[in-house]
């Protein structure tokens, strides 16, 4: 059994408690305009170009059989012409061209994680599955989670919540200690506009999992990305807070926009025009974070910032 992975990051202090290894899966059913990991959207391997290190010697242009590379193209590589043969990667002298994503087996993933087990044990950390959307590969991550638990390693899943709940309860839940669950936009039409699909499945899955989390072994922690004029509007924050209050949820995490993802779009040859407003290219302002914290506090909900 194999699944597409675009990165395994070690010694992370940001993706859950303690020191963690994070496995990023490739592929997602949603298409959020502000996705912080745009290389996780597409399930197939993609060409990644880092402009900053390119020495412009043109080796890739000569090598490409499809004439898909030119200094005259707006994004250097014409993705319509590119067939992902990756011949150009082999000739690039500065490693500016890379392949994003590779198909891995459970054993391969485990072998990269096990050397870090001592760090997990001494720090209260573990392994985080992220993406993309890891639940696209239910049976694969079920096996991976079981092997991690068998090795005595704590597990955390970051999810958009867009999955088949019955399969999730059978394959994933028994082997997951913590779930970070994204609640982005409450209005179904706006959710569809900005994330590609409406939120009915996401909200109903969350409600059911929250009820189970009250009596079962796992923790369910909701999170909301703060994206200027999209997720952070007064109306959306109030709707999210009301939803939590109706479930007696008293704590949430907010993820202020970090514009680093805009650089990643460039590496994939994607224009950021679909999302740009005056502020989305900036670090999210601290003052606005406090306004939104106060809004949640007004509903009796404490806020952490991630």
Chain residues that interact with ligand SF4, rule: CB under 6 A:
47, 54-60, 63-64, 66, 68-69, 77, 82-88, 91-94, 96-97
CA distance 60 to 71: 11
Minimum gap (Å) between residue 271 Cβ and ligand SF4: 18
Minimum gap (Å) between residue 39 Cβ and ligand SF4: 15
Minimum gap (Å) between residue 266 Cβ and ligand SF4: 13
3 state SS for 257-301? CCCHHHHHHHHCCCCCCCCCCCCCCCCCCHHHHHHHHHHHHCCCC
Residue 93 or 298: the one with the smaller Cβ distance to ligand SF4 is 93
Q: Which residues pair with 267 in a beta bridge?
A: none
CA distance 230 to 120: 36
Residue 69 or 221: the one with the smaller Cβ distance to ligand SF4 is 69
Residue 92 or 249: the one with the smaller Cβ distance to ligand SF4 is 92
Residue 85 or 276: the one with the smaller Cβ distance to ligand SF4 is 85
Minimum gap (Å) between residue 8 Cβ and ligand SF4: 23
- CA distances to 178, 182, 253 from 221, in Å: 8, 9, 8
Minimum gap (Å) between residue 267 Cβ and ligand SF4: 11
Nearest to 181 by CA among 154, 209, 200: 209
Residue 83 or 204: the one with the smaller Cβ distance to ligand SF4 is 83
Minimum gap (Å) between residue 136 Cβ and ligand SF4: 24
Residue 6 or 140: the one with the smaller Cβ distance to ligand SF4 is 6
CA angle 245, 246, 251 (to 5 degrees): 30
Q: Identify whether the C-beta of residue 42 lies closer than 8 Å to the C-beta of residue 27.
A: yes
Burial class (CB in 10 A: 0-12, 13-18, 19+), 86: middle
Question: Would you list the DSSP string of 64-133?
Answer: -TT--B-TTSTTSB-TTT-----HHHHH-TT--EEEE-EEEEHHHHHHHHGGGHHHHHHHT-EEEEESS-
Q: What is the DSSP letter of 195?
A: H
Residue 60 or 292: the one with the smaller Cβ distance to ligand SF4 is 60
Minimum gap (Å) between residue 82 Cβ and ligand SF4: 3
């Amino acid at each position: 059994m194999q699944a597409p992975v675009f990165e395994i990051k070690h010694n992370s202090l940001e993706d859950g408690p303690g020191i963690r290894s994070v496995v990023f899966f490739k592929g997602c059913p949603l298409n959020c305009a502000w996705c912080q990991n745009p290389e996780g959207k597409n399930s197939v391997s993609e060409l990644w170009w880092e402009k900053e290190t390119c020495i412009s010697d043109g080796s890739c242009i000569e090598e490409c059989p499809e004439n898909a590379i030119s200094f005259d193209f707006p994004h250097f590589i014409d993705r319509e012409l590119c067939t992902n043969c990756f011949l150009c990667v082999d000739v690039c002298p500065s490693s500016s061209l890379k392949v994003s994503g590779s198909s891995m087996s459970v054993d391969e993933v485990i072998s990269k994680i096990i050397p870090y087990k001592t760090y997990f044990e001494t720090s209260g950390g573990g392994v985080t599955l992220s993406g993309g959307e890891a639940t696209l590969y239910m049976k694969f991550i079920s096996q991976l989670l079981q092997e991690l638990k068998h090795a005595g390693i704590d597990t955390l899943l970051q999810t958009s919540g867009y999955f088949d709940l019955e399969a999730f309860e059978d394959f994933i839940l028994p082997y997951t200690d913590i779930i970070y669950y994204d609640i982005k936009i409450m209005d179904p039409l706006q959710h569809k506009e900005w994330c590609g699909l409406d939120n009915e499945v996401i909200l109903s899955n969350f409600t059911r999992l929250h009820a189970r989390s009250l009596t079962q072994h796992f923790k369910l922690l909701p999170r909301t990305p703060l994206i200027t004029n999209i997720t952070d509007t007064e109306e959306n924050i109030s709707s999210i807070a009301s939803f939590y209050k109706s479930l007696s949820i008293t704590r949430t995490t907010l993820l202020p926009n970090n514009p680093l993802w805009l650089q990643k779009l460039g590496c994939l040859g994607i224009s950021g025009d679909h999302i740009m407003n005056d502020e989305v290219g900036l670090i999210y302002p601290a003052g606005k974070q406090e306004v939104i914290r106060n809004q949640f506090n007004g509903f009796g909900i404490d806020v952490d910032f991630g």
